[in-house]
Amino acid sequence: MTDITPINRKLRIATCSLAGCFGCHMSFLDIDERIQALAEIAKFDRSPLTDHGDLGQCDIGLVEGGLCNEDNVQTLSLFRRQCRVLVAVGACAVTGGVPAMRNHYSLTECLQESFINGVGVDDPQIPNDPELPRLLDKVRPLQEWIKVDISMPGCPPPAEAFVELITAVREGRTPDFTYSMRHFD
């Protein structure tokens, strides 16, 4: 990570979950009472934690999950434009993760198995409502679409890693994830 200067005002942080399970957001909330100290130095912009719809200019964008559909791609592109430091949060954002296990099969095979031939399927039909985002052929990590500034692996990354990340960005340094914070699972 380069070109980071210390920030002396309140940080603006946006978060989103793409092809993820919200486990990384849950781990972020595991900072427990430290959320009070965080509220002193940071303010949430668009995030499932605040339910804000619009994304303003942010210092940090925390993106959980990989890319599995067109909506994910649009959201990620918006986060990249609006966030000074874009962070790939968790195994799915960094590598594609468990959702990328569908990459072994074609999209048609996946849809057939889920909605036509799968065990317990009632009224078999592949959903085609125009409001549903179109699926990508493969689930991909964020780095395949945009430049990622910091990767935070883990399923999920521990709460301490979030604290270190935000502290480091505020102080204008590269995060130092210790051994207990560095996990691919």
Partner 1 sequence: MTSERAFTLDDTEVEFEPGDSLLTAALASDRYIPHLCAHPDFSPHGSCRVCLVEVDGHNRPACTTAAQPGMTIRSDIEPINVMRRQLLQLLFVEGNHFCPSCEQSGQCQLQATVYTVGMTDLHYPPLGPRRELDASHPDLLLDRDRCIGCELCVKASSEVDQKHIFSLGGRGTHTQLIVNSEHNQLGETDMTPDDRAAHICPVGVILFKTGNYAQPTGQRLYDQQPISAIGNHRAEDVDLPPTP
Question: Smallest distance from the beta carbon of 130 to partner 1, in angstroms?
Answer: 30
Question: Smallest distance from the beta carbon of 14 to partner 1, in angstroms?
Answer: 21
CA distances from residue 62 to 89, 116, 142, 158, 177 in whole angstroms, order as listed:
6, 36, 12, 14, 16
Task: End-to-end CA distance of the chain: give it in Å, rounded.
Answer: 23
* Ramachandran class of 50: left when φ > 0, alpha when ψ lies in -120 to 50, beta otherwise: alpha
Instruction: Note whether 18 binds partner 1 by CB under 8 A.
Output: no
Q: Are 139 and 96 in contact (CB under 8 A)?
A: yes
Question: Smallest distance from the beta carbon of 16 to partner 1, in angstroms?
Answer: 19
Question: Smallest distance from the beta carbon of 138 to partner 1, in angstroms?
Answer: 7
Binding to partner 1 in span 137-176, by CB under 8 A: 138, 140-141, 143-144, 148, 151-153, 155
Residue ranges binding partner 1 (CB under 8 A): 88, 91, 94-98, 100-101, 103-104, 138, 140-141, 143-144, 148, 151-153, 155, 177, 179, 182-185
